[in-house]
A and B are shown apart, each in its own frame.
Chain A
Amino acid sequence: RKEVEQDPGPFNVPEGATVAFNCTYSNSASQSFFWYRQDCRKEPKLLMSVYSSGNEDGRFTAQLNRASQYISLLIRDSKLSDSATYLCVVNEDSGYALNFGKGTSLLVTP
């Protein structure tokens, strides 16, 4: 099975800090990439898609590096409400679609 690897953390950061997560994937034929957020074992919800050119949504920036086979998520000006687990998701070709990393835990402290 193709692998998606994430640093499990936890990342403990103060409010207002900038934090970055990386995720590596092993299948060079992977088609699309996403970051999901999961709170306290509730259902995962899409945070943002990751495009080849990179994309930004408010305080969140996602980057894709196909040559090195990793994606990243940058969170600026961290809020307490950003505390959650962040899941890297790689959509491969037919077969094991929606390949999930195990998640990176973020705790933002006052």
Chain B
Amino acid sequence: NAGVTQTPKFQVLKTGQSMTLQCAQDMNHNSMYWYRQDPGMGLRLIYYSASEGTTDKGEVPNGYNVSRLNKREFSLRLESAAPSQTSVYFCASTGQGNTEAFFGQGTRLTVV
């Protein structure tokens, strides 16, 4: 039972490079989320998708774009990476109603 799968687990980028973080869930969940976590800052919401075909900005969306490709997949794109985007990124999903969130294992991104 895979749950939420994120790729890659680690990535080093040079400033200005682009990349896409992939996330897929196999639990038939409607809602999916992208968070970043920095030391002392807790989890901050970047974007979320309440259902297939919809996306909304969270607390810190600048510098990111997302795509809800289908119900299973929610990708996060950095068009031009900056050192301030060095962080740990978590994807999460929730089912119908007020249910618990399941997280991917995280992507540790370093921008140099």
Chain A residues near B (Cβ < 8 Å): 1, 8, 31-32, 34, 41-46, 49, 87, 89, 91, 94, 96-98, 100-103
Contacts and interface: CB of A to CB of B under 8 A. Distances in A.
Q: Please name the 4 residue pairs, one residue from A and one from B, whose CB atoms are nearest each other, closest first.
A: A102-B42, A32-B98, A43-B103, A100-B43
A49 B100 contact: yes
B100 A34 contact: yes
Nearest to A47: B100
B88 A41 contact: yes
A42 B45 contact: no
A41 B45 contact: no
User: How many residues of B sit at the interface, in one of the four size bands?
Assistant: 20 to 34
A57 to B, nearest CB: 14
Nearest to B91: A43
23 contacts: A8-B40, A31-B98, A34-B100, A34-B101, A41-B88, A42-B105, A42-B106, A43-B105, A44-B101, A44-B103, A91-B98, A94-B50, A96-B59, A97-B31, A97-B33, A97-B48, A97-B94, A98-B33, A98-B94, A98-B101, A100-B42, A100-B43, A102-B40
Contacts of A97: 31, 33, 48, 94
Contacts of A91: 98
B90 A43 contact: yes
A41 B42 contact: no
Given A41-B106, A45-B103, A87 B43 contact: yes
B33 A102 contact: no
Nearest to B103: A43
Given A96-B58, A100-B43, A43 B98 contact: no
B94 A43 contact: no
Interface in B73-112: 88, 90, 92, 94, 98, 100-101, 103-106
B55 to A, nearest CB: 14
B2 interface: no
